[in-house]
A and B are shown apart, each in its own frame.
Chain A
Amino acid sequence: MIMTLLRRELKVARRNWIGLAIPLLFFIIVVSLFPFAVSPDAPVLQQLAPGVIWVAALLSMLLSLEQFYRSDYQDGALEQLLLMSSPTMVAASKILAHWLLTGLPLVILSPLLGVLMQINHGVEHSTHTWVLMLSLVLGTPTLCLLGAVGMSLTLAASRNGLLVSILIIPLYVPVLIFGASTVTASLENMRYNGELAILGAFLLITLVFAPFASGRALKISVG
């Protein structure tokens, strides 16, 4: 079931790849603003890097939420999907597809942004880049899961574009804190596995609850 839904999502996305590329472009552009605005000095950028990259990733995920359920809701496809399968299943496969299409590219792009932000300044190895990627691998699915809840709650609401950000950002904050502090800990040569473990715990908790909550909310929005 999930595979069928997933294949459908990927097919739809392939035909609308520009829409998916825009949040990624935004991710890169936002990060590249900081050297202009703050300072192009490598040590300064390196210190800012974890926070800037994580905030940019978070904003980019928020931007891409817009494509989560919206078009399916508007053309009625969502209603059909809900008839076909359980709401939790629909939400779960949507979330998985959404992460593959937006979260994973972010993770893959992040080393490039690490380079832009001089994350490996002064060291010979590339541990910091790996830690950044790892924190994003654990953090972005949580952002997707929480975003799905927010998006499905606001589907039937008017003026929902900004509303979703207001609802979801408070829930994003814990992920942002631990995501950025993982990378900061690595930059300061401290142990970072505690922070990674907490990110993993967030992921597991939201993995259990978010598809269910999002499914319920879809039912309410459509019904």
Chain B
Amino acid sequence: MAKAWRWFHQLGSPKFLFQKTGQWLPWIWAATLILLVVGLYYSLWASPIEVRQGQKHSVRIMYIHVPSAALSMVAYIAMAIAAIVGLVWKMKVAFAVTRSIAPVGAAMTFLALFTGSVWGKPTWGTWWEWDARMTSELLLLFLYLGFIALHASFSDRSKADKASSILAIVGVINIPIIYFSVKWWNTLHQGYSITEKGALNPAFQTPLFIMLAAMYLLFIALVLMRLRAEIILRNQKSRWVAEWALGTSAKGDKS
């Protein structure tokens, strides 16, 4: 436990975080690419097609749709947790984390909506339906965009960080609404099929899980890259950044 706390405090140091993520990133990217290649091979070629759906290959959209939709929510929760850490423990790096997650999360939300729409056309016969889950996912996109817009409209960065963090925390209320929407309202979108036993054929399961892992790693890699840029931006006046930029640092990293 004590070790965990030390880690937590060390992660609060921009320099430490920058160096560590620099060491991790190549590995994360490598794992991401391997899993993406394997996952895409399985999901686009080596998995069965769904005979009950009109356009038989449309089921393959699921392998992008489900991971991006899951990530859109996980990313928001991660952003809100970082916001709480930043506001409560006054940890400045946490604000950099919220700022790095927001655009990636917004992209995931857009991807989930877009793939859902493309998948909805052949299977439900419509691009869009005002169904509870889609509507709440759309609101999630607006929350992300609102966060980005709010952060961008302050000239004082510390005020921007705090104000947008409060917004991120307030917006968390939407996450359970999205998640439970298929249970609370009987609408067009199907219910849970991953967590419920027997609802999903094992033949679809393996590629889906590989794609989930791949997309999670991709998300982490993208956020860490943004985070590193954010750390450099925020600490541009400190000496270690200057040393890093000039390549004179003894413990400089490769990337």
Contacts and interface: CB of A to CB of B under 8 A. Distances in A.
A and B co-occur in one complex: yes
A157 B166 CA distance: 14
Contacts, number: 63
A156 B150 CA distance: 10
B167 A160 contact: no
A154 B150 CA distance: 7
Interface stretch (A65-73, A115-123, A166-174): A166-174
B131 to A, nearest CB: 12
A56 interface: no
A163 B150 contact: yes
B163 A153 contact: yes
A216 B88 CA distance: 12
Given A159-B153, A160-B153, A166-B142, A174 B177 contact: yes
A217 B166 contact: yes
A186 interface: no
A170 B170 CA distance: 11
Interface in A121-176: 149, 153-154, 156-160, 163, 166-167, 169-171, 173-174
Question: Could you say which interface size class chain A belongs to?
Answer: 20 to 34
Contact of A158 (B142, B146, B153, B177): B153
B103 interface: no
Contacts of B90: none
A160 B150 CA distance: 9
Interface stretch (B52-60, B154-162, B206-214): B154-162
A6 interface: no
A220 B159 contact: yes
Contacts of A160: 153
A184 to B, nearest CB: 14
A221 to B, nearest CB: 7
A134 to B, nearest CB: 23
A171 B171 contact: yes
Contacts of B160: 157
A184 B146 CA distance: 30
Contacts of A78: none
Contact of B146 (A166, A205, A217, A220): A166
A213 to B, nearest CB: 6
B145 interface: yes
B185 to A, nearest CB: 10
Contact of A170 (B150, B154, B156, B174): B174
B218 interface: no
Given A163-B149, A163-B153, A167-B167, 14 more contacts: A153-B166, A156-B156, A157-B154, A158-B153, A160-B153, A163-B150, A170-B139, A170-B142, A170-B143, A170-B171, A170-B174, A171-B171, A213-B169, A220-B162
Leading 8 A-B pairs by shortest Cβ distance: A157-B153, A170-B142, A167-B146, A220-B162, A170-B139, A153-B163, A166-B146, A157-B154
A166 B166 contact: no
A220 B145 contact: no
Nearest to A209: B170
Contacts of B87: 216
Interface in A167-223: 167, 169-171, 173-174, 205, 209, 213, 216-217, 220-221
A220 B151 CA distance: 13
Given A153-B166, A170-B142, A216-B166, A221 B150 contact: no
Contact of A221 (B146, B163, B169): B163
Contacts of B135: 173
Interface string A75-107: 000000000000000000000000000000000
Given A166-B149, A169-B142, A170-B142, A217 B163 contact: yes
Interface centre among B145, B159, B163 (most CB of A within 10 A): B163
A173 B163 contact: no
A167 B155 CA distance: 18
A3 B171 CA distance: 31
Given A166-B145, A173-B139, A221-B159, A149 B166 contact: yes
